[in-house]
Structure 1
Amino acid sequence: MDNANLALRILKIFVLFAAALFGFFVFLGNILDYDSNYQFVRHVLSMDTTFEGNNLMWRAIESSDMHTFAYWLLIIAECVFSILGFIGVCKMVKALKAPAKQFNRAKAFGYYTFIIGVTIWFIGFIVIGSEWFAMWQSSIWNGKQTAMDIVGVWCGFFVLFALRDGELED
């Protein structure tokens, strides 16, 4: 294997590690600062800081049990995201100098990691939070732009991650 292929493999491992580390810190923050982050979920689902007279208020969820359920679902998803990412990093490191076919198989956990990441930050925060619960209307509890930025990073990481090794074409 030439140095360029080795460097590209190391870069793929690095972006997956960076994503997993980010997910771990988000997960850890939600556990260590539970109430602050719970309040975010509660306000978004309650839609209590959206525009006054909003015709979408029938979508609001005011049940604290549902807020807790949604928050724990998010925490679990972030935990799974980071665990799968770290497992993927370990598998890829083990296959670092293996033939391309074996290294590409080792990337499976990374693909799952990015699927979960897009599910959390695009479907969860942008589609459901921002559009269904009108989070974009809140000047206080609006995480849409942050989620957009994260999804942009995941897309860039994923495109790089999905590149096949050149030796497959030889």
Structure 2
Amino acid sequence: MNSLTTSQIIRRSKVAIVLMVGILGILIVFSNATDYNSNYIYISHILSMDTTNSHLTYRSINSEMMHHRIYWMIMTLETIFTSSCLMGAYQLAKNINASEEQFHEAKKFAVLGFLVALFVYYLCLQVIGNEWFDMDRSKDWNAMKWAQSIVDFLVPALIFLVMKVDS
């Protein structure tokens, strides 16, 4: 451990964090691919607002075709964030001993992956799912805590990733 400098440990920790998010993505994509129906039902209940007891149900989407399309859009975005994070981890690892500027430039796939993940779990689930479709009012079909836990990890991880403290 004494042979590694603080900067080298910081660089390795950035690789590890990006890889962890990539692994999260692999598990999510695998779950969506192997258990399509369970996850589809979740999205369907959120979009149809059938368990919210809300007076805002005029906002609901009740088209099964739209439920599938929105779910496929979410799965596509999850695949993009996963592949971007995995590519980002690879690029960072490949440039682990490069100059400060090269290492910083190697972060672009990871940053893109984190932003796509934030789009899905913050904007799509927490903002739109919660504020438009009243997801938080459903006792059974509420992904708020799960999405929040991902966002709570991603935001500080993204800040740490983009900081130039790894020279």
Q: TM-score, normalised by structure 1?
A: 0.94
Aligned to 2:78: 78
Aligned to 2:111: 111
RMSD: 1.3
Distance 2:108 2:122 in 1: 21
Aligned counterparts, 1:86-165, within 5 A: 86-165=86-165
| 2: CA distance, partners of 1:93 / 1:143 | 33
User: Structure 1 unaligned runs (5+)?
Assistant: none
Gap change, CA 1:166 and 1:63, over 3 Å in 2: closer
Q: Is the 8 A contact 2:10 2:166 kept in 1?
A: no
> Helix, strand or coil for the counterpart of 2:92?
helix
Partner deviation per Cα, 1:100-124 (whole Å, 9 max, x = no partner) = 0000000011110111011000001
**Equivalent position SS for 2:158:** helix
Tell me if structure 2 keeps the 8 A contact 1:118–1:154.
Answer: yes
Shift of 1:166: 5.1
Residues in 2 aligned to 1:81 and 1:158: alpha-carbon distance in whole angstroms: 13
- Residue 17 of structure 2: aligned partner: 15
Is contact 2:51–2:138 with CA below 8 Å preserved after alignment?
A: yes
| Segments ≥4 residues shifted beyond 6 Å | none
Instruction: Look up the equivalent residue of 2:17 and give its one-letter code.
Output: V
Aligned pair 1:58/2:58, yes or no? yes
**Alignment identity in percent?**
29
Following superposition, the deviation at residue 131 of structure 1 comes to: 1.2
Read off the aligned partner of 1:102 and give its amino acid letter: Q
Unpaired segments ≥5 residues, structure 2? none
Q: Residue 3 of structure 1 aligns with which residue?
A: 5
What is the CA deviation profile of residues 7-55 of structure 1, one whole-angstrom value per residue up to 9, with x for unaligned ones? 000000000000011011101101101100000000000000002xx22
Aligned length: 165
Give the whole-Å Cα distance in 2 for the aligned partners of 1:91 and 1:156. 21
Contact 1:100–1:165 (Cα < 8 Å) also in 2: no
